[in-house]
Amino acid sequence: MYPKMRQLPTSSHRLYLFFRHSRYGMILFSGLFLGLLLLQRCSADQLAAADTLERQVLITWIALERGDMPTAADYTESVHDNWHRLRKTYGQLSLNQEEQRFVGLLDLWTGKLLTAVNYEQRDNALLAISLIQEELRRTRPRYGLQHPADNLYAFYHQWESIIEASSDPMMCLYEWTEYEELVDLAIKQWEDYQANQPRFMDTLFPGYGQNSQRVEEAGLDINKSLIAFKALMAKADHTEAVAPSLAIRALFFNYLALISDYPATEIQTPQ
């Protein structure tokens, strides 16, 4: 539907430089947060625990975005504790250099995430989460894993670039055609996620099953908003896209909260 475009640098890349459808079959397709590098040596229980860990990181991310610091603190503690329990299960294995690198990075970033949340350093906490996501997006495709979480991360980071460009009155970073390419690529990434979305993913995205109708409705809201946003391009005025771009961001986090079954009494509805 959309033409092939060259990859443009996203804000997440700059930040990084700066510092299938069976409920039971999904275990081999799921998060593999730790186990992706150790795939042949993971038990089903370890893989499920790794999915739980990635969900804990996702909920921490949503909580930080919402300013829900009690939830962020609770789930960051769970991330730290769960990671170190998983880490111990591999303590007696002989890891190759790439596995050692990956485990070392997770040691570093989960520790920095805990410190940042404990000291209410929101930006540093979000940076740690961004680096974790970037590493997963970089590593999982090497093992042939087309993972829906990675599609979501890709869409989010691409959309952050659109917000950044839209909010710049002079649009210094991009030519207009490049801005249009940013939008087309974000739409393509959202479509890739929808094409890759499984029916069930109970440990990482329990909301697929528990909140199925609301998840479907929230996804349709994003679809409609992306179509409307694309139509704005005909006006050739990026400043008119500021409010709609932020609205889509809010819809995305509402969707993420639904699929991860965010532990709140009521999922927020974007205005």
Greater pLDDT, 47 or 26: 47
Q: Is the pLDDT of residue 24 over 80?
A: no
Q: Is the pLDDT of residue 7 over 60?
A: no
Please give the pLDDT value at position 252.
98
User: What gap in Å lies between CA 109 and CA 111, rounded to an integer?
Assistant: 5
- State the average pLDDT over residues 202-220: 95
- State the average pLDDT over residues 190-195: 96
Which range, of 85-89, 129-133, 168-172, 252-256, averages the lowest pLDDT? 85-89
CB within 8 Å of 108: residues ≥ 6 apart: none
**CB-CB neighbours of 93 under 10 Å:** 10
CB within 8 Å of 150: residues ≥ 6 apart: 136, 137, 140, 141
Q: Give SS3 for 180.
A: helix
Please give the pLDDT value at position 42.
58
Render pLDDT for 89-140 as a digit per residue (tens, 0 to 9). 766 567 778 878 888 898 899 999 999 999 999 999 999 999 988 888 887 8
pLDDT grade, residue 49 (50/70/90)?
confident
Please give the pLDDT value at position 45.
67
pLDDT grade, residue 46 (50/70/90)?
low
**CB-CB neighbours of 78 under 10 Å:** 17
- State the average pLDDT over residues 13-22: 36
Greater pLDDT, 145 or 247: 247
Q: Could you tell me what percent of the chain has a pLDDT over 90?
A: 57
Q: Is the pLDDT of residue 178 over 90?
A: yes
- State the average pLDDT over residues 237-264: 95
Secondary structure percentages of the chain, helix, strand, coil, to 5: 75, 0, 25
- State the average pLDDT over residues 24-49: 48
- Residue 131 φ then ψ, to 5°: -70, -35
Q: Is the pLDDT of residue 60 over 70?
A: yes
Q: Could you tell me what percent of the chain has a pLDDT over 70?
A: 78
**CB-CB neighbours of 120 under 10 Å:** 11
**CB-CB neighbours of 229 under 10 Å:** 20
Q: Is the pLDDT of residue 150 over 60?
A: yes
Average pLDDT of the residues of the chain: 82
Q: Is the pLDDT of residue 18 over 70?
A: no
Greater pLDDT, 133 or 218: 218
